[in-house]
Structure 1
């Protein structure tokens, strides 16, 4: 089985310690026969804390997903909560998963009410939109997505590669405990990068509460393995009745041509 993990940005050499740590943390949880390749976008604004910026970046993400399918991958993983999941599923004929939908699906079996703790106030908007779009609103708490303060930046992220307990976890836990007081019994890490870093540091639950802290990247990839299994063994990928029915190739080609020179 070959899975392509697509990041939402170009590759930033300054974050090389992060890319290495993600690889070290994720590979051991996958099946021995699963081949995982991380890919970065050829072009990106490297900013998705905006609905419009996310909309623009989604074109690059779906292009990368289409290329992965052409390159023979069995499944594609979109490694960001800000994801064009439905758009990618429409045009691909292989399973497409993400940190968002797959982790929220898994949360249904972990508890009654979940919450997402994410990295910036603006990101809460996109994630809450996804909760509604994917049909999970009734299984989340009121104000289901909340952000750490101050918001995450490159310095905080690299610091978490070395020791998330020093700065990130205190910010994260303060928000998570507010969510628990409001009824959450499962906390999802609302970032594709911090989840593996917390799990690698042994931080998998809010102390003294019994509430798990869910590494959305790890859970999303494991869920996608199962989706790929169903595809390879039973031919089950998606419905082609309506929303995910692939549009005519010539229509997509015309739409793509309109981007030339943009």
Structure 2
């Protein structure tokens, strides 16, 4: 099985860490490669960033289709370009949001998301409405750290644990989703912090959810529905 991971950003400094993370979650026998964009932004923290990333994402998905990959992970919690990608490749495609939120929904009633910055909260609320999941969203809290600042692991764990604890204690969440795929390798530490406070709720990692979701989809022989994700009409296009 071959999974292509598309980092929808031009930054490459985190590519080794992302590669380590996806390889950690991938099953034996799954080959994973990671690519970034040739044009776009250093991180996605707004609708504007997402729009600028769109052409580069589509380009990388077209390359993945030519390469015959079995699944595509667009590694961003905002699911940028996911629905466009499903129209142009006969392989399952996910971002970070959908698989992790659906997993969290299967483990608890109200889902609490802890994400990066206030800027992205409206984007994530819009996603829950698009997916018809808004009735299961308990709250969206922020750690107030930019994507490129998430490398301070201890500070990130502290803030995630504080916000997740508050969400549960205030009755906002029965399961917690880490709301950024840049939150690498911290899930178990956050879960342990909560358990140490007597808070026993699942903490869902978006990268782990995406990789294992793709592997399951490939094993089941599933590809995007062509009644939903119809092949785009042939016409002149320039980008």
Q: Same fold (TM over 0.5)?
A: yes
How far the C-alpha of 1:20 sits from its partner, in A, is 3.0
What corresponds to 1:89 in structure 2? 86
Is the contact between residue 104 and residue 202 of structure 2 (CA under 8 Å) also seen in structure 1?
A: no
| Aligned counterparts, 1:126-165, within 5 A | 126-141=123-138, 144-149=139-144, 151-152=145-146, 154=148, 156-160=149-153, 164=154
Is the contact between residue 43 and residue 147 of structure 2 (CA under 8 Å) also seen in structure 1?
A: no
User: Looking at CA atoms only, which structure, 1 or 2, has the larger radius of gyration?
Assistant: 1
What corresponds to 2:158 in structure 1? 170
What corresponds to 2:200 in structure 1? 210
In the alignment, structure 1 segments of 5+ residues that lack a partner are: none
In the alignment, the residues of structure 2 paired with residue 30 and residue 53 of structure 1 have an alpha-carbon distance, to the nearest angstrom, of 29
| Aligned counterparts, 1:108-257, within 5 A | 108-141=105-138, 144-149=139-144, 151-152=145-146, 154=148, 156-160=149-153, 164=154, 167-180=155-168, 181-194=170-183, 196-199=184-187, 202-205=189-192, 206-207=194-195, 208-231=198-221, 236-241=222-227, 243-248=228-233, 250-251=234-235, 254=236, 256-257=237-238
How far the C-alpha of 1:79 sits from its partner, in A, is 0.2
Superposed CA deviations along residues 1-59 of structure 1, whole A, max 9, x for unmatched, are 100011011243xx3xx433333333233221110101111111224222122122122
1:99 equivalent among 96, 99, 107: 96
Superposed CA deviations along residues 58-77 of structure 1, whole A, max 9, x for unmatched, are 22112211211111211110
TM-score using structure 1 length: 0.82
1:187 is paired with a residue whose SS is: strand
In the alignment, the residues of structure 2 paired with residue 153 and residue 36 of structure 1 have an alpha-carbon distance, to the nearest angstrom, of 23
In the alignment, the residues of structure 2 paired with residue 137 and residue 98 of structure 1 have an alpha-carbon distance, to the nearest angstrom, of 18
How far the C-alpha of 1:99 sits from its partner, in A, is 0.9
